Amino acid sequence: MPSPDGKLLAAAYTDGYVRLWNLATREAAGAPLPADSGPGGDVSGVAFSPDGKLLASADGDGTVRLWNLVTRRAAALSASTGPGVSVFGVAFSPGGRLLAA
């Protein structure tokens, strides 16, 4: 998924990481974000907030994480939906006030 300003691409990987790519240079934009470190962890989806400051990840461990892209740290961590339940996608509302998973 491209960032709102078109400079970054966020990609979900089955190894439990989210990777950001610089679209101009086609190189990695920093270290991967460790989204799902559980057994067999994977990331199913990503979404940028409309202002491009946050990135949400949908994780195979049933967790939604919000990443602050300036600090590259998880800005918030939701409660898991339960054992054996995955989150397959995330999307911000147009105004960025709501996040659906």
Identify whether 76 is part of a domain: yes
For 13-94, strand residue ranges (E) read 17-22, 27-28, 33-34, 43-48, 54-59, 64-68, 73-77, 91-92
Identify whether 1 is part of a domain: no
Identify whether 3 is part of a domain: no
Counting the structural domains of the chain, the total is 1
Write out the chain's pLDDT in tens, 101 residues: 899 999 999 999 988 899 999 999 999 999 999 887 666 678 899 999 999 999 999 888 778 889 999 999 887 666 565 667 778 899 999 999 999 98
Identify whether 2 is part of a domain: no
Identify whether 58 is part of a domain: yes
Identify whether 69 is part of a domain: yes
Identify whether 67 is part of a domain: yes
Residue 77 structural domain:
8-100
Q: pTM to 2 decimals?
A: 0.88
